[in-house]
Amino acid sequence: MNITGFLLMDHEGEEIEADAHGSNIAFLCFDCGYPILASTLDEQRGSDEEHPSRCRSCGAGYFLDVRLHAEKLYIHML
């Protein structure tokens, strides 16, 4: 799933600073600011609740919620 150009938001719908390219997105941990990488591809880290991306600094978990037709992406914390 290509998310380049999507509107990137946190779980509250606030637009965030992030870099989306192809099926990957880089953003900063909402808690500690450490860089996090996530993917929309099935079973890759961050793709869903069962496969979260973990912050390597503080351990916070994240997963992506893509709204394909609206071209929006929400990042949820576990």
Minimum gap (Å) between residue 62 Cβ and Zn ion = 9
The answer to the question of residue 31 lying near Zn ion (CB under 5 A) is yes
Minimum gap (Å) between residue 37 Cβ and Zn ion = 13
Question: Rounded to an integer, what distance in angstroms lies between the CA atom of residue 58 and that of residue 56?
Answer: 6
Minimum gap (Å) between residue 36 Cβ and Zn ion = 7
Q: Put residue 7 in one of left, alpha, beta given phi > 0 → left and psi -120 to 50 → alpha.
A: beta
74: nearest Cα among 21, 35, 27: 27
Which residues in this chain contact Zn ion in the complex, by CB under 5 A?
29, 31-32, 34, 55, 57-58, 60
